[in-house]
Amino acid sequence: MRVFLTGNEGYLGAVLQEELTAEGHEVTGGDSGLFTPHCERQVWDVRDVTAEELRGYDAVVHLAGLSNDAAGELSADATVDINESSSIRLARLARTAGVERLVFASSCSVYGASAEPNLTEDCVPQPLTTYARSKLAAERAIMATGTDAFHPVALRFATLFGSSPAFRNDLLVNRMVSTAWRYGQISVTGDGGAVRPLLHVRDAASAVARTLAASVVDVHGTVFNVGVPGANYSIRAVAELVQARFPGARIVFAGSPDRRSYAVCFDRFTGRITTWRPRRTVTDGIAEVADALDRSAPFPRLGSQWGRGERSSWLSLLRQEDVLTGSFRWNRLAAVDHIPPYAA
């Protein structure tokens, strides 16, 4: 299968490109390079894609965009433009270009805050942030683009964790491991009672690959929650798992409670995509990230900054340095080289 993969240099995209290539797919990537060291090439931007670029591909997998709540709040207008408007436009262009399949990466964050113990795709979302609202609006419009010849699907991923060539430490598990490794401290907001579903980044990549391999009858125009059945954890429980790996680390409760809390049901996806087998637990991911930090240390152990791994802070820095415009377009390439890789 010929696959056009947007966001191929990102946290999930870098892993997914490896997986699809290993499975024998022909993968072409498009990425803005915002988190790529020493970006000296002409970058790609989803806002500028044309139908001609997409012609001849069997599938488009769309991961590109502002990737979390904090980054989304840096500019609500840019978030809507990138995550919502450009995603909808991409789907329509893919349909025009004769692409058969489109997989859109959405998020379980669309559920926002819910007391429901087992949220299904039929539950009413309650997005609390610009990022979550942009994902929900995009997936609804993209599902409406389907035809007999064009088959869109939206995957609402659980919160990801684990090591990646494009590491992020602003994700729940990764951040707790990073601070335990770096400072001997694990921070928990409020009382830690908020709940999140968790999924290893490599299992997320496998979910995309299995979705591409599925019959279009099983996925056409469908929204799926994607995660491991039963893998809904309180923030406090995650902190305790991290502390088990770092026994000397202190758990510190501070700040206001996180309003976002949602326990999610994944039966629709596991029921239809029966070839998908998640293989990694949260404990596996904690050990993996800790080992990766010991080996490669993407930031100084005693420093205070996180660099490219903390997406919102890195974007803020690039804008302050006038490397990026307010709408997250490059002002100049390679100018980022004078910024230390962990300065953010």
Q: What are phi and psi of 247, to 5 degrees?
A: -60, -25
| pLDDT of the residue at 69 | 86
- Please choose, from the candidates 104, 111, 112, the residue with its C-alpha nearest in 3D space to the C-alpha of residue 139: 104
108 φ, ψ to 5°?
-65, -10
Tens digit of pLDDT at every position of the chain (344 positions): 999 999 999 999 999 999 999 999 999 999 999 988 755 555 799 999 999 999 999 999 999 999 888 899 999 999 999 999 999 999 999 999 999 999 999 999 999 999 898 999 999 999 999 999 999 999 999 999 999 999 999 999 999 999 999 999 999 999 999 999 999 999 999 999 999 999 999 999 999 999 999 999 999 999 999 999 999 999 999 999 999 999 999 999 988 888 999 999 999 999 999 999 999 999 999 999 999 999 876 555 545 567 888 899 999 999 998 989 999 999 865 445 545 444 43
Amino acid at 315: L
pLDDT at 240: 99
Three-class SS of residue 189?
strand
Which residue ranges form the domains of the chain, and what is each CATH number? 2-338 (3.40.50.720)
What per-residue confidence (pLDDT) applies to 140?
98
Q: Pick from 316, 173, 324, 46: which is nearest to 343 by CA?
A: 316
In sequence order, what DSSP letters do the residues of 121-141 get, joined into one string?
A: TTSPP---SHHHHHHHHHHHH
**Whole-number Å distance between alpha carbons of 27 and 95:** 19
pTM given for the model: 0.94
Provide the pLDDT for residue 204. 99
Taking each helix axis as running N to C, give the angle between helix 282-296 and helix 172-183, from 0 to 180 degrees, rounded to the nearest 10.
50
